[in-house]
Every structure is written in structure tokens, then in C-alpha cells.
Amino acid sequence: MAALFGTDGVRGVANRELTAELAFKLGRAGAWILAGENTGSRIVIGKDTRISGDMLEAALIAGICSAGVDVLRVGVMTTPGIAYLTRNLQAVAGVVISASHNPVEDNGIKFFGPSGYKLPDETEAAIEALVLEDCCSVTSPVGGGVGRVYQVDDAVQRYVAYACGTISTDLAGIKLVVDCANGAASQIAPLIYKRLGAEVIPIFNHPDGVNINNGCGSTHPEELMEAVVDAGADLGLAHDGDSDRVLAVDASGRLVDGDQIMVACAGYLKAKGQLAKN
């Protein structure tokens, strides 16, 4: 069994199990494995709204730059957003710092390949092996060979435009309550739904570093269920901390879980003749 990587990256209690030292080594090893000998390689880094994100981001960036690879820092961004931006910005890899729906004390580091998909097990194993040997075989460039950090100021706009462009549906006339879980969706989700034409009522969209997933989001939809009824809304959507999952609430305040959403989507696509392999 892997000592570091689980089913969704490396996770643990921040500053206890997932330390700054470990984040530095993961950045250094990941850069070495994923960039190889390619000069001018870049890795995208984003995070959710946890207070420990800044600490882990700084350590991860230091590790990547120490291996001679540049960093494209996008700040707070959803996990799907990091996957897209990795491709869009033509990076060799992407990294998201998040523990998804877990409580604030947890955090995680997850790598994506250049396609925006999760790394193969063998690549994660290679990174892990380097970390466990303290990155002894990773060289340290000097002078102009050290990596640089570039801030991507239009990251949110890039992803919002992409997400809106994936569908042709007009949401005009729909009143929508969106639970942003005080996480990475807090700015992005309302922007997307508004641009698609919906009347948006955002809730739990004021992250303060410690309130992510706290009594809100996809693991705690009770407040959303009440808010939909109180607002007379047509629909409610609840994201989790990194916005890679969603639950829905109908106009009557009834929860529609992920399995039900998948069945509804599959039925819709099948009726249009667009359901893959069917």
C-alpha cells in the first residue's frame, strides 16, 4: 500500500501529517518527474480557501522552483478549474491544494498530468519514491536555472468562459440558490450561473479560511433545502469545498443526490442520442 498517495492524492491534517516539509518534497519530486529534462516547463498551482492553503502553496512552489521548473499560480480555484487550466495554459502538470469536502484542518495535494487528468499510479509511485528518499537524485540548478513564479491574473475569467461554453442552455427565468460551501466555488459558481442567465442567490459564499464545509455544502445540504423553499426558487445546487461534486434540491426542498443526478443526465443524453456507448 502506498505510504503517501491515496485514491485522491496526498492528504492529511495540515501542519501535522501534511507538513510544509512534505509539500516542499512533493513539489521538488513532482517537478523532476513531470517536467523531466524539458527547460521552460511550467506547473499550474491552485487551492481552495483553507487557511493552510497559503502555507502549503508556498512550500510546494519552493520545491518546484528548486528543481528548475516555473510555477503558474492561479490562487483560489476549483479542482475542475485546475484540470482545465493545466491544458489551457499548456503546462506539464497541475496541482490542486484541497481536501475536498473534508473539514478545515485537513488538506491535500493532488497532481494532474498535462491532459488535466489524474496521474497514472506508476507516475504517483515514482514521485513517492523520490520523496521517501528525500529527493536525493533531484538536481538543484543555480543562477538563471532556478524556477520563476508567474501569477495568472485572468484564471477565473478563463475558466468561467470555458465552463459557460460547454453548454448551449439558457437559464433565463430560473431562480437558483447556490451553496458555495465557503470554498473554491464562492466566486466562480455564481459568476457562471449568472452568465448563463439565471437569477442567482448565493449562500455560504464568504470564506474566511476556517469556515469551509462548516455546516454547509454538499455534505450539509439542510440550509440549502430551507433556502430554496424560503426564496421560492426553482432549484438549489450545493458544491463542496473544491467544487468537484454537486447535489441538487428541487423547488419543494427535496434533496436530489448524485446518483439521481447521473440518472437524469443519462436519460436526457439518451433521449437526444448523445449518450456515449448507448
Q: CATH number of the domain that 88 lies in?
A: 3.40.120.10
Cα dihedral across residues 113, 61, 42, 151: positive or negative: positive
What's the pLDDT at 1?
Answer: 38
Average pLDDT (80-89) is 98
Average pLDDT (40-66) is 97
| Domain match, 147 and 63 both | yes
Active-site choice (41, 100, 186, 218): 100
| Domain match, 239 and 178 both | yes
Residue 98 resides in a domain:
yes
What's the pLDDT at 252?
Answer: 97
Residue 214 resides in a domain:
yes
What's the pLDDT at 107?
Answer: 98
pLDDT at 38 over 80: no
What is the Cα–Cα distance from 176 to 186, expressed in whole angstroms?
A: 15
| Domain match, 116 and 24 both | yes
Give the least confident one: 39-43, 89-93, 249-253: 39-43
| Domain match, 144 and 48 both | yes
Answer with the one of 128, 156, 184 that is the final residue of a domain. 156
Average pLDDT (46-66) is 98
Using N-to-C axis directions, what is the helix angle for 20-35 and 53-66, rounded to 10°?
A: 40
| 7 against 223, higher pLDDT | 223
Q: Coil, strand, or helix at residue 68?
A: coil
Residue 162 resides in a domain:
no
pLDDT at 94 over 60: yes
Average pLDDT (252-258) is 95
Residue 75 resides in a domain:
yes
186 carries an active-site annotation? no
User: 134-184, pLDDT tens digit by residue?
Assistant: 999 999 999 999 999 999 999 999 999 999 999 988 999 999 999 999 999
pLDDT at 267 over 50: yes
Residue 187 resides in a domain:
yes
Answer with the one of 156, 180, 196 that is the final residue of a domain. 156
What is the Cα–Cα distance from 106 to 7, expressed in whole angstroms?
A: 15
| Domain match, 63 and 177 both | no
| Domain match, 136 and 253 both | no
Domain containing residue 256:
167-271
Average pLDDT of the chain is 95
Residue 278 resides in a domain:
no
pLDDT at 66 over 60: yes
| Domain match, 133 and 229 both | no
Residue 175 resides in a domain:
yes
* Angle at alpha carbon of residue 26, lines to 14 and 128, rounded to 5°: 110
Average pLDDT (62-77) is 98
Going by pLDDT thresholds of 50, 70 and 90, the confidence category of residue 193 is very high
| Domain match, 228 and 109 both | no
| Domain match, 143 and 194 both | no
What's the pLDDT at 262?
Answer: 94
Domains in the chain: how many in total?
Answer: 2
What's the pLDDT at 191?
Answer: 97
| Domain match, 12 and 91 both | yes
Using N-to-C axis directions, what is the helix angle for 155-165 and 79-88, rounded to 10°?
A: 100
Instruction: Tell me the whole-structure pTM to 2 decimals.
Output: 0.94
| Domain match, 209 and 146 both | no
Residue 85 resides in a domain:
yes
| Domain match, 107 and 19 both | yes
User: 229-250, pLDDT tens digit by residue?
Assistant: 999 999 999 999 999 999 999 9
> CB–CB of 211/76 below 8 Å?
no
Answer with the one of 98, 129, 156 that is the final residue of a domain. 156
What's the pLDDT at 104?
Answer: 97
User: 177-191, pLDDT tens digit by residue?
Assistant: 999 999 999 999 999
